[in-house]
Structure 1
Amino acid sequence: MSKLQILVTDSELQNIDDWRFDNRAENRSSAVRELIALGLTLSQEEPEEAEKRLKDLRSGS
């Protein structure tokens, strides 16, 4: 396993923590790994939907 450090906004961190609680992730690191896996799976299985969501995310929608 490798270490990855990222900066997130306070609201992003709150969203991660909320998701962690709702999905009973063991800890914050596990939650982030699971969210990354979900995003990667979506981009592979539904590339058009993933592209649309990424565009919305980047535009702040």
Structure 2
Amino acid sequence: MSAHTYAAMPPIEMASSSTTAHTLRPVFVTVITLKIVVSAFLLATVSLAPPVSAETRYMTVAAAN
């Protein structure tokens, strides 16, 4: 029985993919990016809004309707 050596093994090569990328991939990346931007904008808007208890005017307007 003989031991395998590294010289006897075939070299490891990266598999080259002959397939092309999906045609809608740029659309998918754009939609995900826009979702992240819109959600960040909405979170920033909510975090910068004054609380309802900041002025009593908000409560009087809401109660009048």
Q: TM-score range by the shorter chain?
A: 0.3 to 0.5
Greater per-residue helix proportion = 1
Q: Which structure has the higher relative contact order (CA within 8 Å, separation 6+)?
A: 1
TM-score, normalisation: structure 2: 0.31
TM-score, normalisation: structure 1: 0.33
Larger radius of gyration: 2
